[in-house]
Structure 1
Amino acid sequence: MEAELWADVSRLGPDATPAAMAHVRTSAVTTVLARLDQLAEWKPVERIALACLVLRPDELDLGDSAVDLVVAGSPEVLDAVRSQAAGRRIGVRCEIADGAGMDAAAALCGSVDVLIAAFVDDTNIPLELLLARAQGTRTRVLKELISSAEAATVAGVLESGPAGIVVRGDQLGDLDRVGEALRVRRETRRDMVPLEVVRAVPVGMGHRGCIDTATLFAEDEGMVVGSTSSGGVLVCAEVHYLPYMNLRPFRVNAGAVHSYVFGAADTAYITDLRAGEPAYAVSADGRFRKVLVGRVKVELRPLRLIEARHGDTLVNVLLQDDWHVRVMGADGKPLNLTEVRPGTQLLGTVWEPGRHVGIKVEEQIDEF
């Protein structure tokens, strides 16, 4: 599961709460944690869960509120929360200052859905011990950041393996920084390889698809596209100079409609992609990051066949035959498609061949 990002606004007073909640709604937060008296200030957002922090046994009266999760502010009120949560998920916040606090928190693993670990020290060793105790149980352990300085090194915190990060209300300025660290963590890498072009020829008319996404590509990014499951060529996004039109930095002119678009693990056909579905932006150094498809635009255009080889593996791709379509050279620099000749070195990936509807299968499949 992807790491969660929580915003804890429960320490804020009534004057600061509305602005904090407005900030949360426009961030990458997955859950907002609020006191019972703050719930009325929260305007529901479908992608953000609502958790209620309970500090005293006598204050829990959720009624028909949209609370998804009830979090006991300490282990001492956990029993009261369990008895009044009305079928909702249960969590607990544990402040851990020593071995005894650590043992008390560890003893709760398996009995709650979420455990927020609030360590008084910024070392991750206690966190790793707590995660070891939670392994194999239903409990997801979240790390509460204790300072903005810790937010700057959140990537190191994430290496310890918590299910997510909790940012306190007095540090909401760190939300974007932590959200970016979580996004980078979701990136995966694959080896990019040089492909030597052996054939580059016009082949006539055909339908090609442009993939428009809800993101902006960097100058070294595009998508890996191929006609066979053995691999593909890194086709650049439309982020490079065009003399006759504006740039489309959200778009990859991705090739003939039958083509595979390679992801971090499996593939999709261009024509299978739909608005709101994931695809992958790929950088020249092999980073695969998930992006959202906005639309696929299919039009009849002249096509050019590019065949290229890496060792014994031959890959090919059909792309729109126009100089403004660019592919990534093996040196990480974009090349106009019409400049590609036999002997040109391109950048791409090679995969173990054999896929059915984009999914790797263990069978012999020959593609030409």
Structure 2
Amino acid sequence: MKEVWYKADEGDWEDRLPLITAAIESGVDYVLVDGDEVGKVRELGEVGVAAFVSENDVGGTGGGDGKPDVAVVGKGGEGDGTVEFPPDMSGSSDLTTVRRIEDNETGSYVEIDGKGYERLAAEAGGYADYVVVVGEDWRIIPLENLIADLQDEDARIVAGVGSAEEAKTAFETMETGADGVLLDTDDPGEIKETVRERDRFESEELELVDATVTAVEPTEMGDRVCVDTATLMEHGEGMLVGSMSSGLFLVHAEVAESPYVASRPFRVNAGAVHAYIRVPGGGTKYLSELEAGDEVLVVNEDGETREALVGRSKIEKRPMFLVEAEYEGERYRTLLQNAETIRLVTPDGTVSVTELEEGDEVRLYVEEGGRHFGTKVEESVVEK
């Protein structure tokens, strides 16, 4: 999991307050402040708090009214060049302080200003949980060297950046990239976009296929599920649902207005209670299992995904359609409500289930194997 830290340790507290609030509301993982401000940050909302501590704050309290989640050493010490570090790192006060901190995760903050500081950061990786590296010009940070040096250590690398674009580069460096970024900006929009970059980097990307519709048949009544989320979906987005875990149909969100009902861009009328729905992490759930607080996967026509929080699962009896589609000789089925507002994603847009005909193409996610309690298993499973 990639992380976004927001650097908020400099300037007047009242001036920083709106930016810290914006960072918390945007979904950053940590706010980095001085040790005596931990309590102030905690009062603003639920967020991880990292705090600069000195060698006198070995307990990690930072001398303030709260204990940080991550105690960071280096400000006003060797890490930022205030104190000269030993050439061979033996007797380093920063490293000694990191080793002495108990009951906290620890971080070592290093401003890279030459090869010696790069060596200090690499040494810190043997002791600290996080190595936070910054520079006046982010491009001079030897991130590739540090990733290589610490590949066998448990330390997570957090790279200092000033924008979402720089964060994207840090996340992608040497394929594995930095584990996190420390964002230093006064622009709330940049904070939001950096969090989006983190989310985009972590999201699954699924390969969708175009299957040919072979049957559309009205059936008896069934219990169908509307999945209402705590987020708005856009045109082209929906959820992967199907009667067979090996082939899930991309059912479109109720984004479009219709003569019959108002737009509900938070809703996917997903199908019958027995059907599978794709959830984050590669698993599935039965639609009947969903309830407020669960997470589901929102997928667009290109297979790009994001996570969404379920706000409500609504089950009602409705007339249904059986939809069948074929891809590479295999046939996949699902049950959908017989209503004009239920739409499937196609290669060219969407089509209402009431207008769906044999020969039409719809987008599916297809995979081999089966499911055991929602988890993919490599075994022979026959679904009909």
User: TM-score, normalising length from structure 2?
Assistant: 0.88
Match 1:317 to one of 327, 331, 334 = 334
CA distance in structure 2 between the partners assigned to 1:125 and 1:95 by the alignment: 9
2:83 is matched with which residue? Answer: none
Deviation at 1:335, TM superposition (A): 0.6
The 1:119–1:330 alpha-carbon spacing in structure 2 relative to 1, beyond 3 Å, is: same
How far residue 141 of structure 1 moved from its aligned partner, in angstroms, is 0.6
Match of 2:55 among 54, 57, 63: 57
Contact 1:12/1:170 (CA < 8 Å) preserved in 2? Answer: no
Q: Matches of 2:106 and 2:223 in 1, distance apart?
A: 53
Deviations 1:263-299 (A, max 9, x none): 4622221122222222111111111222111121111
Q: CA deviation at 1:22?
A: 2.4
Picking from 306, 320, 327, the partner of 2:344 is 327
From the superposition, tell whether residues 81 and 112 of structure 1 become closer, same or farther in structure 2 (CA, over 3 Å). Answer: closer
CA contact (8 A) 2:134 2:141 kept: no
- The answer on 1:92 being equivalent to 2:111 is no
CA deviation after TM superposition for structure 1 residue 40, in Å: 4.1
Out of 29-38 and 207-216, give the one that drifted further: 29-38
2:29 alignment counterpart: 30
Q: TM-score, normalised by structure 1?
A: 0.91
Q: 1:168 to 1:78 in 2, by over 3 A?
A: farther
**Take 1:194 and 1:139, find their aligned partners in 2: how far apart are those partners?**
43
Q: Deviations over 1:322-358 (max 9, x none)?
A: 1111111232x11111111111111112111421222
Task: Show the counterpart of 1:8.
Answer: 7
Match of 2:272, as an amino acid?
A
Matched residue of 2:320: which SS?
Answer: strand
Match of 1:194 in 2: 210
Amino acid at match of 2:343: R
Give structure 2 stretches of 5+ with no counterpart. Answer: 80-92
Q: Kindly, what percent of the aligned residue pairs are identical?
A: 33
2:377 pairs with 1:361: yes
SS at match of 2:323: strand
The residue identity in structure 2 corresponding to 1:128 is E
Q: Secondary structure at the match of 1:154?
A: helix
**SS at the partner of 2:138?**
coil
Q: CA deviation at 1:136?
A: 2.8
**Gap change, CA 1:141 and 1:312, over 3 Å in 2:** same
Question: Which one-letter code corresponds to 1:311 in the other structure?
Answer: E
**2: CA distance, partners of 1:202 / 1:124:** 64
Is 1:128 aligned with 2:140? Answer: no
What's the secondary structure of 2:253's corresponding residue? strand
Change (3 A) 1:61 1:289: closer
Indicate conservation of the 8 Å contact 1:208/1:254, yes or no: yes
Moved more, 183-192 or 89-98: 183-192
Distance 2:146 2:342 in 1: 52
> Does the CA-based 8 Å contact 1:18-1:41 persist in structure 2?
no
Amino acid at match of 2:25: T
RMSD after superposition: 2.1
Q: Residue 316 of structure 2 aligns with which residue? A: 299
Paired residues in the alignment total 361
Contact 1:17 1:38 in 2 (8 A): no
Compared with structure 1, are the counterparts of its residues 291 and 228 closer, same or farther at alpha carbon in structure 2 (3 Å cutoff)?
same
5 Å-filtered alignment, 1:167-182, equals: 167-168=183-184, 170=186, 173-182=189-198
Q: Is the 8 A contact 1:301 1:320 kept in 2?
A: yes
Measured after TM superposition, the shift of residue 244 of structure 1 is 3.0
Q: Deviations over 1:15-47 (max 9, x none)?
A: 423333322331211111111233343234664
* Local SS of the residue matching 2:42: coil
- 1:144 is displaced (CA, Å) by 0.8
Alignment of 1:101-250 (within 5 A): 101-123=117-139, 126-145=142-161, 147-148=162-163, 151-160=164-173, 161-168=177-184, 170=186, 173-250=189-266
CA distance in structure 2 between the partners assigned to 1:124 and 1:252 by the alignment = 47
Contact 1:10 1:169 in 2 (8 A): no
Q: CA deviation at 1:119?
A: 2.6
SS at match of 2:266: strand
Looking at structure 2, the residues matched to 80 and 256 of structure 1 have their Cα atoms a distance apart, in angstroms, of 59
Identify the match of residue 273 of structure 2 among 257, 260, 285: 257
- Report if the CA contact (8 A) 1:230-1:313 is conserved: no
Residues 62-96 of structure 1: per-residue CA shift (max 9 Å, x gap): 4662421110124444434543x442111110011
**Structure 1 counterpart of 2:29, one-letter code:** T
After superposition, the Cα gap between the structure-2 partners of 1:91 and 1:172, relative to the gap in structure 1 and judged at 3 Å, is farther
Measure the CA separation in 2 of the matches of 1:57 and 1:125. 26
Letter in 2 for 1:318: L
| Contact 2:72/2:109, CA 8 A, preserved across alignment | yes
